[in-house]
Amino acid sequence: MSHVAEVQPTAPLTVLQEEEILFQNSVRRFARERLAPHVREMDTQGQFRRDLLDEMFSLGLMGIDIKEQYGGQGGTFFQSVLAIEELAKVDPSASVIVDVQNTLVSNAIERWATPEQKQKYLSQLATRNVGAYALSEPGSGSDAFALSTRAVPDDHGYRLSGRKLWITNAAEAAIFLVFATVDPSAGYRGITCFLVERHTPGFSVGKKEDKLGIRASSTCELILEDVPLSPAQVMGEIGKGYKIAIETLNEGRIGIAAQMLGLAEGALEHALTYARERKQFGKRIGDFQGVQFELAEMATRIEAGRLMVYNAARLRDADEPFVAQAAMAKYFCSLMAEDVASQAVEILGGVGFTRDYPVEKLYRDAKIGRIYEGTSNMQRVTIAKALLG
C-alpha cells in the first residue's frame, strides 16, 4: 500500500485565512520596499546587509513559529512557507536565511531540546541571533550520515573535532546545530546533535564560498578543533542525531520548494512586465502567440508548484504524513523554477542576459534548488520508496 497521504483539506489549499493574508502582505511590503533596492548590491558583494537582517528580526520573520513565551510570533509552519515564498520573489538569498532559521534550526530545537535549552536558545533565535544547521562534510553529501566529525567523551563532557562544509548562514550565525558521531562503530546510530555557540574555544568559521547564485546568503566551512562541550549541549539523546536530521530535513524540503516557487513567481512577474512594454514589429511582444504560449506554460507550472507546496505545508501543520509530498514539492519546484527563470531570460532577450535586469540573477539563484537539502535524485528515491511501501 502506498504511504502517500490522501488527506482532504478542510478548505481549498490556495485559500488563505485572513491572518495569513495579512502576514503575507506584510512580508511582501518589506520585500518590495526595503529589500528590493539592495538586492543587486548584495549579490555583487556577496554579503547580506546587517540592517536588513535586523529588520527581519524586528518583523518577526526569524522566529515565525517560535512560541510567544520565547519571544517568537507563535505562528505556523505554513506561515513560514508563505514568508519564504514572498521573500524569494524579490531575493532568494533573503528567503533561504529565513528558511534555515525557521524550518531547520528553531524547528529542531522546538521538537528535540530540553526545556532549559529551549528557553536559552529559542529566545535568542526569535529576537537577535541567527542559527545554522551543520550536517554536511567534505565526504558526506547525499550520504549525509557518512560523518567524520567526532565527539570524544571526556571528564567534562565532549571534545568536538572535524570540519563542516556548505553551512548556510554560517557567517552571521551565533548558534549552530552540529552533527557529529560519538561512536563510529555504531554507524548512523552513533550520530548525535550538539548545540554549539560561536564563541566556544576551538570553534571557527572558515572559508566563505564564492557561489554562482544566492550569493548574499553566506555559505561557509566550519572548523572544529577540540571544541569543549558540556553534557547540557547535547540536543536530544546520544545516538539520536540521525533521527533529528532526517525529520528536520523532511520539513526543510518544503521550505526549499517554497523558495523555488517564489523565485519562479518573481521571474514570471518580470517577464510579464517586459512582455507588456517591449514592442517589436509595431506590437507588444506579449501580443505574439509564441510569447503568450511561453507565459501560459510558466504560469501553469507555477500554479501546480504552489498547490504542491501549500499541500505539503498544510499536511505538516495537521500532523498528517507529508514526507512524500515534501519530496515531490521540492523535486517539482526546483525543476520548474530553473525552467521558468530560463524562459524569463529568453522572453527578455538580450537585456535578460545582462545584469541590468533581475532575471539573470534569478536564473543563477535557481540552480541550487536541485542540489541542496537533497538532490533531485534523492527526492526521486524518497518518492519511489513511498509509492512502493
User: pLDDT tens for residues 194-203?
Assistant: 999 999 999 9
d(Cα 261, Cα 250) in Å, to the nearest integer?
17
pLDDT at residue number 281: 97
CA angle 354, 95, 123 (to 5 degrees): 150
In this structure, are 30 and 50 located in the same domain? yes
Give residue 8's pLDDT band: very low, low, confident or very high (50, 70, 90).
very low
What's the whole-model pTM score? 0.95
- 3-state SS record for 57-124: HHCCCCCCCCCHHHCCCCCCHHHHHHHHHHHHHHCHHHHHHHHHHHHHHHHHHHHHCCHHHHHHHHHH
pLDDT at residue number 141: 78
User: pLDDT tens for residues 116-133?
Assistant: 999 999 999 999 999 999
Domain hosting residue 61, numbered range: 18-129
Active site residue 373: yes
In this structure, are 232 and 298 located in the same domain? no
Q: Is 9 a member of any domain?
A: no
Sign of the CA dihedral running 157, 104, 383, 144 = negative
Q: Which of 84, 109, 129 is the last residue of a domain?
A: 129
Q: Is 12 a member of any domain?
A: no
Q: Which of 239, 254, 273 is the last residue of a domain?
A: 239
Mean pLDDT of the chain: 95
d(Cα 356, Cα 311) in Å, to the nearest integer?
36
In this structure, are 188 and 257 located in the same domain? no
CATH of the domain at 53: 1.10.540.10
Q: Which of 97, 129, 161 is the last residue of a domain?
A: 129
Q: Is 292 a member of any domain?
A: yes
Q: Is 221 a member of any domain?
A: yes
Task: Tell me what the mean pLDDT of segment 49-66 comes to.
Answer: 98
Calculated CA dihedral for residues 317, 109, 130, 211, nearest 10 degrees: -70
User: pLDDT tens for residues 80-104?
Assistant: 999 999 999 999 999 999 999 999 9
CATH of the domain at 288: 1.20.140.10
Q: Is 281 a member of any domain?
A: yes
Q: Is 250 a member of any domain?
A: yes
pLDDT at residue number 146: 85
Residue 311 has pLDDT above 80, yes or no: yes
Percent with pLDDT over 90 in the chain: 93
In this structure, are 188 and 247 located in the same domain? no
- Taking residue 60's Cβ as centre, other Cβ atoms within 10 Å add up to 21
Residue 241 has pLDDT above 90, yes or no: yes
CATH of the domain at 154: 2.40.110.10
- Taking residue 359's Cβ as centre, other Cβ atoms within 10 Å add up to 27
User: pLDDT tens for residues 206-215?
Assistant: 999 999 999 9
User: pLDDT tens for residues 68-84?
Assistant: 999 999 999 999 999 99
In this structure, are 101 and 215 located in the same domain? no
Listed as own residue / partner, the contacts of 277-284 with beta carbons closer than 8 Å and 24 or more positions apart are 278/348
Residue 371 has pLDDT above 80, yes or no: yes
Count structural domains, the chain: 3
User: pLDDT tens for residues 130-164?
Assistant: 999 999 999 887 887 789 999 999 999 999 999 99
What nine digits make up the cell of 121? 536558545
Catalytic residue among 265, 338, 360, 373: 373
pLDDT at residue number 327: 98
Give residue 5's pLDDT band: very low, low, confident or very high (50, 70, 90).
very low
In this structure, are 341 and 285 located in the same domain? yes
Helix (H, G, I), strand (E, B) or coil at 135: coil
In this structure, are 265 and 347 located in the same domain? yes
pLDDT at residue number 11: 52
In this structure, are 198 and 119 located in the same domain? no
What nine digits make up the cell of 353? 542576459
